[in-house]
Amino acid sequence: MKHRLPTPFAVLLIASLAACSQPAPPADNAPAVTGEPLAARAVMIGTEGASLPACASTSQVKTGGTDVYWAPGETRAVKAKIAGGAKVSVCEATDDDAWFGVVFAAPGIDPDLCGVGRPVQNAREYQGPCRWGWIKGGTVQLGG
């Protein structure tokens, strides 16, 4: 014999289960932090000219570390995390210094392999072999 739930009860049960499976929307109705970025902008190197290093400054990430994002102002998707005390090469900054474009080596990789300590002929997007991204201003000790 087949048992059937009363129709109003079944509808109520399905509606309550559906409501439980829906996570609350993130702040500003943005995708979850692990989601896809809405924008990406590569870090430019060599912006100071052909006679200076491709990235002007080596800096140290402040205690607590920092998140790395795909573009300045884009905080919806974290690209990577950098531990406090790690060295990064600051290659560019937004006009208000709220964001820094950085190049950094993966843990265990020699930062000299990133190739940003020597000049490049023309300003261009950084394409590796190290990691790159954007960090919020104030998360590094400049020149540290």
Mind listing the pLDDT tens digit for each residue in 28-69? Answer: 433 445 556 566 899 999 999 999 999 988 999 999 999 999
Task: Compute the distance between CA of residue 11 and CA of residue 131 in angstroms, rounded to an integer.
Answer: 50
pLDDT of the residue at 44: 96
Report the number of secondary-structure helices (H) and strands (E) in the chain: 1, 9
Average pLDDT rounded to a whole number, residues 110-130: 92
Which pLDDT value is given to residue 4?
52
The pTM score is: 0.72
Sequence-distant (6+) residues with CB within 8 A of 133 are 43, 68, 69, 70, 79, 80, 101, 102
Across 5-9, 111-115, 139-143, the highest mean pLDDT is recorded for: 111-115
